[in-house]
Chains A and B, each alone.
Chain A
Amino acid sequence: MSKKITIEPVTRVEGHGKVTIHMDAQGNIQQSRLHIVEFRGFERFVQGRPYWEAPVLVQRLCGICPVSHHLAAAKALDVIVGAGTGDGLTPTGEKMRRLMHYGQFFQSHALHFFHLSAPDFLFGVDGDPAKRNIIGIALTNPDLAVQGVMMRKFGQEIIRATAGKKIHGTGAIPGGINKNLSIEERDEFLKGADPLNADKMVSWAEEALDFFKKYYFANKDFVDNFSYFPSNHLSLVRKDGALDIYHGVLRAVDADGKKILNDIDYQEYDKYIEEEVRSWSYMKFPYLKEYGKDKGWYRVGPLARLNTADFIPTPLAQKEFEAYKALTNGKPNNHCLHMHYARLIETLHAAEMIRELLHDPDLLGDDLVIKGEKQKEGVGLIEAPRGTLFHHYRINDNDQIEMANLIVSTTNNNEPMNKAVNNVAKSVMTGKEVITEGMMNAVEVAIRAYDPCLSCATHALGKMPLELTLVGPNDEILDRKRSH
């Protein structure tokens, strides 16, 4: 008898995503899908709004990394107000935005690691589900919990100092920034009472990386083999090939490291990227046009960024990067769970960049905004913590938005997440009569590695709960299980 298995995160009832897996009578996986059940309609309802509202409106897509949307929109509007395509701002304007963005990377990556991933590493992927959350950490490893909370707080305070508010701030405006950094703010971040200062954050980021590496080398087979599959990888890189999350050119490499998108100007992104619509998900499926739907899909995020970049422009992270690259002999890394490793190298890089930027007197400057000849259309790209984020706007003669197109990071990872679900389902569920909590958890671990923002509920605060229903061919429920 064939079966349909539905894996529902608690978020299904709360309006997020769910997984369905179809099995045939022999227990072979026929089809598996990650459905995204959210739809908002931003592209349409921002039409008619004055263009300068975009950075504050559109960031309300996401409260976990609002700075990414805020900055991607501001970068698109830089083009529209004639301030150049990302590198034309005043030094104060650009560096304040960069500081904001590194602050966000630091807080978002810390949140993902400590609040979400660390419970799995501390208590085991199949450990007691009742403990496997941030409260469990607070009760058993209070020092680690405090470290996570304070790292996130530091990042959030950087955002407040640059954007005005920790969540949904207003710092970036078309052509620049609306405030500089005060000497008092700078000194607080550099010399603040322990632990809230930049030096401590760098050393804590190193400790978090050591924590993960220890876990990795003790569980190497599992981490290396879990949901491994080759793919293309896409991200921004600086013109000289350095990791750069704020500005650069768009590069993609294939699974062997061959450049398949060669450092293009992202103002022309729509020449290279197309999205497929599938009837069973609100989330579209982007791919590189030249390679088609079947071969052109790609991954974004920490794993992809460390595959496209040639080096990291800060010393401690670069050293870690070299050791990490050596694991795959310099070739692209296609190991799903190495995403955590890559994310922590980026966390260290963000801490180093914050410390370096804070010493830069340009942050204290008062030349904040540039304006030039008005343009009708602009594209803003940024590397959000979860991957490449595209914002594209066109305005009319009344300065109203006439067209908006957004490709968010998690959308770019749509096909890879579906592949990961399918992969894990095939490897752990094929031929099995009974589907266990451990099997469901395996599917969840694969999805979680991508840190998908659309199910950020569960991602932000703890383990993603799953409900799984076995349904017979006539839709009768054969079995139902909750992960806990």
Chain B
Amino acid sequence: MSKPVIATTSLAGCFGCHMSLLDIDERILTLIELVEFNKSPIDDIKTFTKPVDIGLIEGGCCNSENVEVLKSFRKNCKILVSLGECAIMGGLPALRNGIPIEECLHEAYIGGPTVQLNKDGIMPNDDELPMLLDKVYPCHEIVKIDYFLPGCPPRADLIWDALVALVTGDPMKLPYEVVKFD
């Protein structure tokens, strides 16, 4: 029987969730026995090369590219999991949602104490840069998400238990410590 296939990505996240996945420590060596990785930073596969069983999504959507990547994950993965608070509800980057994006850009490039010599008011606006969205969106507002793993980041044991449950089909234990925030 072929191994289950896993893919992962980080959208508008900080890579803390991917780091927490690494915090399963020596179980990483077991994991690469149990599953096969497809598109993921772990193995450098750039585009999906086969149908994927489980897609792990870190981060919400803050720009047009995040949306494209998320849609391609939905198309190619049987099961999608929102990993961590940013994917589930926008997380910390969503603190900008109540603020016009122009104000955020102004503060970073014109208002701050070390950009006082930017007298011409230059702002990043090149064609090479993706479009920022009006606000940061949680993943389930863009595509259907099947499971949610809370935490900032979700603890390594939770990620491990969830992966084992999804791969084996056995129900996972959900004690209080893993369902409360952080």
Contact = CB atoms under 8 A, between A and B. Distances in A.
Instruction: Kindly state the interface size class of chain A when it binds its partner.
Output: 35 or more
A274 interface: yes
B66 interface: yes
A380 to B, nearest CB: 14
A149 B26 contact: yes
Interface in A56-101: 57, 60-64, 66
A66 B19 CA distance: 11
B70 to A, nearest CB: 10
Interface in B31-59: 32, 37, 40-46
A40 B94 CA distance: 9
A15 B44 contact: no
B118 A40 contact: no
Contacts of B10: 14, 457
Which among A20, A63, A462 has the highest number of chain B CB atoms within 10 Å?
A63
A426 interface: no
A150 B28 CA distance: 11
A138 B29 contact: yes
B124 interface: yes
B128 to A, nearest CB: 5
Contact of B128 (A37, A41, A46, A146): A37
B124 A277 contact: yes
Interface stretch (B102-110, B138-146, B164-172): B102-110
B65 A12 contact: yes
B134 to A, nearest CB: 13
A14 B17 CA distance: 15
Interface stretch (A224-232, A279-287, A328-336, A359-367): A279-287
B163 interface: no
Nearest to A39: B132
Contacts of A47: 107
A267 B132 CA distance: 34
Contact of B114 (A63, A273, A467): A273
Given A20-B128, A37-B128, A167-B153, A44 B96 contact: yes
B153 A15 contact: no
A407 interface: yes
Interface in A276-300: 276-282, 284, 286
Interface residues of B, number: 67
A10 interface: yes
B92 to A, nearest CB: 4
Contacts of B77: none
B91 interface: yes
A63 B13 contact: yes
A18 interface: yes
Contacts of A46: 95
Contacts of B65: 12-15, 37
B20 interface: yes
B93 A279 contact: no
A133 B129 contact: no
Contact of A168 (B29, B109, B112, B152): B152
A63 B28 contact: no
Contacts of A41: 96, 99, 101, 104-105, 107-108
A457 B66 CA distance: 14
Interface in B72-92: 91-92
A39 B153 contact: no
B10 to A, nearest CB: 5
B16 A40 contact: no
Which among B14, B105, B115 has the highest number of chain A CB atoms within 10 Å?
B14
Contact of B22 (A168, A284, A460): A460
B1 interface: no
Interface string A112-150: 000000000000000001000111001000100110011
A233 interface: no
Contacts of A343: none
B14 A142 contact: no
Contacts of A133: 42-44
Contact of B108 (A44, A286, A462): A44
B11 interface: yes
B18 A44 contact: no
A413 B16 CA distance: 22
Contacts of A63: 13-20, 153
B158 interface: no
Nearest to A394: B113
Given A15-B66, A150-B26, A461-B40, A284 B13 contact: no
Contacts of B125: 279
B178 interface: no
A44 B107 contact: yes
Contacts of A165: 182
Contacts of B109: 277, 284
Nearest to B70: A14
A14 B29 contact: no
B126 interface: yes
Contact of A274 (B46, B62, B114): B114
A146 B25 CA distance: 9
B62 A10 contact: no
11 contacts: A14-B9, A15-B11, A40-B96, A41-B107, A43-B107, A44-B108, A63-B14, A63-B153, A133-B44, A277-B115, A279-B126
Interface of A: 10, 12-15, 18, 20, 33, 35, 37, 39-41, 43-47, 57, 60-64, 66, 111, 129, 133-135, 138, 142, 145-146, 149-150, 152-153, 156, 165-168, 270, 273-282, 284, 286, 392, 403, 405, 407, 456-458, 460-465, 467, 482-484
Question: Which 7 pairs, one residue from A and one from B, show the smallest C-beta to C-beta distance?
Answer: A63-B16, A41-B104, A280-B126, A44-B107, A63-B14, A461-B41, A44-B104
Given A39-B104, A41-B108, 13 more contacts: A35-B128, A57-B92, A60-B152, A63-B15, A135-B42, A150-B25, A166-B156, A270-B114, A280-B126, A392-B113, A462-B42, A463-B44, A465-B44
